[in-house]
Structure 1
Amino acid sequence: MPDKIAITFDEKNKPTTKGGTFYVTINGEKTSKRYRWCIYKKGNGNPFINEIKEDKKPLEPMKFGSFGKDGGTFIIKIYDAEKVKGKENSELSKFSEEASLEIEIKKEEEKPTTRHNIKPEILEVHLIKKGTGSITKVSYQDTLIAIAKTQGLEGKKITFNLYERDEKDRTHVKDFLAEVDRYGMARVEIPLLSNKKVFQFLANQKAPENGEGNKHEFFVTASFGLNKNMITKDSNEVQAHLKKNIKNAYFVDANGKKVNKIQVGDSVRVCIESEDMIGVLVRYTILEKDVIKDDVIWLRKLVINDDVHTDSEITITENLFKKGIDFFGIDSDSERQNYYIKVEAYAGKKESSTFELSFESVVYDVGVSPVKVMVDDGKKKEEENKKQSTIVTYHIYHDGRIEKHIPKKIAEEFKQKYKYVYHDEKGNEHEVCIAEWHKVKIWEKGSRKIGDTKTGGIWETRVVDGKTRYYKLGKRESELIKVPFPISYVKNNVIIKLADNTTREYINPLAFASLLGAIAMCGYEDFSFNGSTSKDGTGAPSVTHINGISLDFRYLRKDKLIKSLHINTNPNMLDVERQEKFIDALCLFGYSSFYSYYINLNNKSNFILKNSTHITDHHHHLHIRKEGYNPKYKEIKL
């Protein structure tokens, strides 16, 4: 007697317009066997939900998120997963279903909403870091997200008040307004970088007195109404870390241009580049390099007021020049002198000791800038600039063009590296990153079927995660670069950020240029990369990621969180507008086709993103296809 296979659900939790949970039973017992599930609305032959549950745990149910608020009659069918593997929806009619179930979903009743008896209240407040990494530890390059859960405040504006807490009290930093949505949620992003001067000055001024070191605790309160003390709620604390680093010091002219040679009578300024040092007292000394003892030419104390601080003008007078002359004649510095800058940072107002990250009495690493006086030299600096220019560079233009500039000579340390530079619409250049590359074999195709290896050619086998795949070897070589995570470039309104969510960190160098261009055009901060290919270029166990041209990305969410989104069960969270803008940007840089997934969105079944084809198991990521990739690209030999 054949087994009786049936689809059932819990009578206590019957399916509604908001979804339902279903089980498969064989002879009355729940089973964990894998099936392909399809739901059809009666009168419509196309399934609007189509799912294969991979690696199901025993007795795990199938959950469907929404049947649409209008309800109706639905037919659920299950097929043997192995028999219909790789088949499109249109082909399912050729197969017999294992079981089916017809259910009636009642139309959702619209209930009037009354607010007169709901007390306006802020229920919860949270402060988190945007992006990946530790939620409670941030740097001033990060963005915080303040979130409030409320009731009775829909459509109203609330104020997030940001505070810094120390051992004695709390100090108000800044306020941020946010509107409460229809779900009672309010959300605001607080980019620490855009408020950097305020935060750093506050932290650096307080730190020496209160012993806070480089760690500073921030939290928010959320308030509503004129009397903010009436409705207020505190969040958790987030710890911000000051890196505190003097990165460089050099001379510039009146126009801010670096100089490496000057004469007596010239005027220069000292420029100090630092990180997380705003509000810190420093002393810089201009010294003349000597054989026995360096001579002090100029000494000045100042408070850093920006990441790139340019001090007041200094004129190299004869009296200053004479300070560097050696009266003992050991070195010939009466004709020319070598100047350099030494920078020291002090703990608060104390001049007795210098400090580094822990505010202890340890001297900082010194930024040094050599300057030749009265000599038309500067060869070392010129050689350094020349060396930096001798690297193969991909220039990515905002209009979709990509140029690979190949210099006549490539510096030894750059022979296995490529530089990527983005050109914005204003003509500004942005050096995004440098990536290492290596040569690999080109693969003609990948396959899951061993039978394909009988068609001729040289095939190689890869076994990854217990899955065996076969790859046909091509006749040429190609190149792959390793994506230099983390990518977080922000300057002059250009944002290029990419979160790492993959072990397939290798990509074709030209495809990487296209990707950076598309990300720059969008300027989103929540891109999450699911990878391209493996180091050998196969991308195993995938068979569609050979040679590192195809790319996978998580879907973009409306809440802009960097986390997974399954659009089959949570379609309303998909940010269609931003997702399709990203698709447009990718098309501008050479891509043309994508794999996605049918969803039920806004009461429309079988919605799919533009330029996309439905394919099984793509409900959690967008696949950017290699087929048709044709960027506007040319190589230029310099």
Structure 2
Amino acid sequence: MAHTATERRKAPQSVDVRGCPVFRWRLSSSSITDEVICRLPPQLITYVIHTDGKIQRRTPKEITPGFEETIAYIYLDQSGHNHDLGKYCFIEARRHLPGNVEVEGSVRLIDLRKVHKKYKLGNVSYGFTLNTSRYYIGDVALASLFGAMLEAGYDDVVCNGFSDHLGHSVGGSSSHVNGTNGDFRYLRNDGTVGPLHLAEAEGKPHLLDEERQAVFIEALYRFGWKSMLSYRYVIDGKEKLLKRTRHFRNHHHHLHLQGYAPLVEDIHD
């Protein structure tokens, strides 16, 4: 259908690696005088997440007013397609050592309650839920978590939390500071997302989806968590321990992520 001279037409667009719209508009002799409205995207800090575990932190020379405390997240899949995972506001908190000991420096924290719980475009997807009062994750750690979840592609990930809004470790643990160390329920093989104990009185290790759990752990390792705590379990009389994890008391019902050392490349645009 032809457009009238008074209609405003939107140019079709895609998204580049910084989350900026890319417009493609073919002008014909009849439409060359049409009005095309192009609103420039905000300039803000953007994390570009690569499948090999690398995270690019792109910082513009000037940040658009109003976006000084906002970070955009883009996932670059194996086909070279960009996936816009959203823009999220962060808060700054003091940096801490384990035990909530204040030290010099600050960290950026993002509220996981505000993060999109599902994403799907083609065969790229993730899905997670929260079971925690430790809602805050570090800004770079969120990029790593996005990368790991998208690499695994599961929709039943349950996060037991990272830190509180002060970057403190709460809930009886001393190591969950700065939004980098996190806990997750073990992945089940029965289609549910409830708690799963690998041992002790409530142990049901036969419900552990060992294959999917191994894939998720490898993805978490690739994106920065170089140390993880788990628990030995027994199936068919054979004692087992998940690869890349270390047995530790009281971790029969969750996987603990620590030793965070992501590969981050800073780019100043």
TM-score range normalised by the length of the shorter chain = 0.7 to 0.9
The 3-state SS of whatever aligns with 2:225 is: coil
Q: Which residue of 2 aligns with 1:592?
A: 226
**TM-score, normalised by the number of residues in structure 1:** 0.37
Q: Which residue of 2 aligns with 1:527?
A: 157
The 3-state SS of whatever aligns with 1:587 is: helix
Distance 1:442 1:505 in 2: 17
2:34 is the alignment partner of 1:403: no
Return closer, same or farther for 1:251/1:442 CA change in 2, 3 Å cut-off. Answer: closer
Q: Which runs of 5+ in 2 are unaligned?
A: 1-7, 13-21
Distance 2:219 2:253 in 1: 21
The 3-state SS of whatever aligns with 2:89 is: strand
Q: Which amino acid aligns with 2:215?
A: K
Q: CA deviation at 1:445?
A: 2.3
Residues 116-195 of structure 1: pairs in structure 2 closer than 5 A: none
1:128-181 deviation line (CA, Å, top 9, x unaligned): xxxxxxxxxxxxxxxxxxxxxxxxxxxxxxxxxxxxxxxxxxxxxxxxxxxxxx
Return closer, same or farther for 1:604/1:252 CA change in 2, 3 Å cut-off. Answer: same
**TM-score, normalised by the number of residues in structure 2:** 0.85
Q: CA deviation at 1:520?
A: 0.6
Q: Which residue of 2 aligns with 1:417?
A: 70
Distance 1:553 1:396 in 2: 21
Residues 481-492 of structure 1: pairs in structure 2 closer than 5 A: 481-483=110-112, 484-492=114-122
Return closer, same or farther for 1:441/1:251 CA change in 2, 3 Å cut-off. Answer: closer
Equivalent of 1:576 in 210, 222, 225: 210
Distance 1:634 1:259 in 2: 30
1:53-110 deviation line (CA, Å, top 9, x unaligned): xxxxxxxxxxxxxxxxxxxxxxxxxxxxxxxxxxxxxxxxxxxxxxxxxxxxxxxxxx
Residues 261 and 374 of structure 1 are in contact (CA less than 8 Å); yes or no, is this contact kept in structure 2? no
Residues 86 and 116 of structure 2 are in contact (CA less than 8 Å); yes or no, is this contact kept in structure 1? no
Return closer, same or farther for 1:636/1:557 CA change in 2, 3 Å cut-off. Answer: same
Q: Which has the higher strand share?
A: 1
Q: Which has the higher contact order (CA 8 A, sep 6+)?
A: 2
Q: Which residue of 2 aligns with 1:159?
A: none
Residues 485 and 500 of structure 1 are in contact (CA less than 8 Å); yes or no, is this contact kept in structure 2? no
Residues 567 and 620 of structure 1 are in contact (CA less than 8 Å); yes or no, is this contact kept in structure 2? yes
Distance 2:10 2:179 in 1: 44
Residues 250 and 258 of structure 1 are in contact (CA less than 8 Å); yes or no, is this contact kept in structure 2? no
Residues 391 and 410 of structure 1 are in contact (CA less than 8 Å); yes or no, is this contact kept in structure 2? yes
Q: Which residue of 2 aligns with 1:561?
A: 192
1:228-250 deviation line (CA, Å, top 9, x unaligned): xxxxxxxxxxxxxxxxxxxxx94
Residues 88 and 115 of structure 2 are in contact (CA less than 8 Å); yes or no, is this contact kept in structure 1? no
2:253 is the alignment partner of 1:620: yes
Distance 1:557 1:600 in 2: 16
Q: Which residue of 1 aligns with 2:33?
A: 374
1:311-354 deviation line (CA, Å, top 9, x unaligned): xxxxxxxxxxxxxxxxxxxxxxxxxxxxxxxxxxxxxxxxxxxx
Return closer, same or farther for 1:410/1:489 CA change in 2, 3 Å cut-off. Answer: same
Return closer, same or farther for 1:406/1:559 CA change in 2, 3 Å cut-off. Answer: same
Residues 48 and 57 of structure 2 are in contact (CA less than 8 Å); yes or no, is this contact kept in structure 1? yes
Q: CA deviation at 1:392?
A: 1.0
In the TM superposition, structure 1's runs of 4+ consecutive aligned residues that sit over 3 Å from their partners are: 249-253, 257-264
2:26 is the alignment partner of 1:392: no
2:125 is the alignment partner of 1:495: yes
Residues 486 and 500 of structure 1 are in contact (CA less than 8 Å); yes or no, is this contact kept in structure 2? no
Residues 391-540 of structure 1: pairs in structure 2 closer than 5 A: 391-446=44-99, 471-483=100-112, 484-540=114-170
Q: Which residue of 2 aligns with 1:367?
A: none
The 3-state SS of whatever aligns with 1:414 is: coil
Q: Which amino acid aligns with 2:178?
A: N
Distance 2:127 2:245 in 1: 24
Residues 299-310 of structure 1: pairs in structure 2 closer than 5 A: none
Q: Which amino acid aligns with 2:145?
A: L
The 3-state SS of whatever aligns with 1:578 is: helix
Q: CA deviation at 1:610?
A: 1.1
Residues 593 and 611 of structure 1 are in contact (CA less than 8 Å); yes or no, is this contact kept in structure 2? yes
**Aligned-residue RMSD, C-alpha:** 2.1
Return closer, same or farther for 1:516/1:259 CA change in 2, 3 Å cut-off. Answer: closer
Distance 2:139 2:122 in 1: 25
1:201-221 deviation line (CA, Å, top 9, x unaligned): xxxxxxxxxxxxxxxxxxxxx
State the identity %.
Answer: 32
Q: Which residue of 2 aligns with 1:265?
A: 30
Q: CA deviation at 1:539?
A: 2.1
The 3-state SS of whatever aligns with 2:170 is: coil
Residues 125 and 150 of structure 2 are in contact (CA less than 8 Å); yes or no, is this contact kept in structure 1? yes
Q: CA deviation at 1:602?
A: 2.5
Q: Which amino acid aligns with 2:214?
A: E
